[in-house]
């Protein structure tokens, strides 16, 4: 699987969500634009006034559009020339207009960008509502690509970009042809605020830290809420180790990992795809799942919560080619929940595992 697709999958729970900062003035500026496309002059003016109160700035374009709206002039009545008023044009045909422009570093190809973004066509069609998103800065796919504009921005910048509608639908939205509702002369505009940016590896590590903290909080809560079940599970594990002459130290979380066959020393990084073989058992030897029996290795993105906490922690302890056994207390597994027919609530789990392969950051 392509590594770019994996990163997108790994951060899917955070991407494409409509969460905005209520104290962000740019949100209200974009909201005013949205209201104007709907012909709602009053609410557009309310949003714009909120923008002014928060930012202590004004926006002449929005003020003009609100005045036109109040005078009965719709945004759909604007001429082609009106759309480009105030914009500059780069050598590849990208039109850009900065509302806020800072100094400092700019994102590099491959960086992940935290943005507030919306997309409007002809000031009448809201294609993408105001959305908080994670975007990966990529090499431009065509002259005047949105990525050219994103690469011009600094942290905290707000800008508007007018792009070629045909090429954008094809390369950014994956449409083979321009949808029937639009034509090649329509004006596609992206409103963007760049909140932050960082290398993919840094994002993956930060995300993994958040997951690890949530897992630790969950484990602590389970042990606090179910003291009797926790004592029983601890006794069950201790008794199993005594009977089977297993001597091993648990990690701080309570996970126990026993190496059976060492690997080559290379460890996987969080945020990357790992390929595993495993056989999952209860402590009484009951097998509840096995990729080995299916002859189908299991793949997941490490450290981002796609598997139970004991796995996310345990695989990070392994090296490529290594074989071993995870002994996972119930609170690092499925907790108080039933999982399938064989895993009852508060079950300790044992996994015979092999780390077959993993991707690395470029």
Question: Which amino acids are annotated catalytic?
Answer: 278, 288-289, 308, 334, 351
231-238 contact pairs (CB < 8 A, 24+)? 232/346, 233/329, 233/330, 233/331, 233/346, 233/348, 234/329, 236/283, 236/348, 237/283, 237/327, 237/329, 237/348
> Where does 76-190 have alpha helices with state H?
80-83, 146-150, 165-171
* CA-closest candidate to residue 278, choices 268, 290, 287: 290
Q: How far apart are CA 12 and CA 3, in angstroms?
A: 14
* Look-up of token digits 């126990």: 256
Radius of gyration of the chain (CA): 27
Q: What is the DSSP letter of 339?
A: B
Any residues with CB less than 8 A from the CB of 12 and at least 6 apart, and which? none
| Chain-centroid distance, C-alpha 124 | 29
Span between the terminal Cα atoms of the chain, in Å: 15
> Where does the chain have alpha helices with state H?
3-10, 25-37, 41-55, 60-70, 80-83, 146-150, 165-171, 200-225, 227-243, 291-294, 309-315
Decide: 27 and 116 in contact? Cβ < 8 Å: yes
Any residues with CB less than 8 A from the CB of 285 and at least 6 apart, and which? none
Q: How far apart are CA 39 and CA 18, in angstroms?
A: 22
């Amino acid at each position: 699987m392509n590594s770019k697709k994996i990163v997108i999958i790994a951060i899917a729970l955070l991407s494409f969500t409509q969460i905005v900062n209520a104290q962000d003035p740019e949100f209200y500026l974009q909201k005013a634009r949205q209201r104007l496309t709907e012909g709602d002059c009053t609410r557009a003016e309310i949003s714009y006034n909120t923008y002014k109160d928060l930012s202590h700035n004004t926006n002449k374009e929005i003020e003009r559009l609100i005045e036109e709206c109040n005078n009965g002039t719709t945004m759909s009545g604007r001429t082609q020339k009106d759309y480009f008023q105030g914009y500059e044009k780069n050598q590849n045909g990208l039109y850009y207009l900065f509302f806020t422009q800072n100094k400092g570093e700019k994102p590099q190809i491959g960086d992940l960008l935290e943005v507030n973004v919306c997309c409007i066509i002809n000031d009448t069609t809201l294609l993408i509502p105001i959305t908080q998103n994670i975007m990966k800065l990529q090499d431009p796919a065509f002259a005047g690509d949105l990525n050219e504009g994103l690469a011009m921005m600094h942290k905290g910048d707000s800008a508007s970009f007018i792009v070629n509608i045909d090429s954008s639908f094809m390369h950014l939205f994956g449409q083979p042809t321009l949808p029937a509702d639009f034509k090649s002369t329509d004006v596609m505009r992206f409103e963007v605020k760049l909140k932050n940016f960082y290398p993919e590896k840094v994002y993956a590590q930060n995300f993994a830290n958040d997951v690890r903290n949530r897992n630790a909080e969950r484990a602590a809560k389970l042990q606090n809420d179910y003291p009797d079940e926790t004592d029983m599970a601890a006794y069950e594990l201790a008794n199993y180790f005594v009977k089977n002459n297993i001597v091993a130290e648990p990690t701080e979380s309570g996970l126990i990992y026993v190496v059976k066959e060492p690997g080559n020393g290379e460890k996987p990084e969080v945020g990357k795809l790992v390929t595993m073989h495993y056989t999952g058992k209860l402590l009484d030897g009951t097998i509840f799942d096995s990729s080995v029996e299916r002859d189908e290795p299991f793949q997941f993105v490490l450290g981002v919560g796609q598997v139970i906490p004991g796995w996310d922690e345990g695989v990070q302890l392994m090296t490529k080619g290594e074989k071993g056994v995870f002994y996972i207390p119930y609170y690092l597994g499925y907790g108080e929940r039933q999982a399938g027919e064989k895993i009852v609530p508060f079950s300790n789990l044992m996994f015979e595992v092999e780390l077959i392969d993993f991707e690395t950051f470029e």
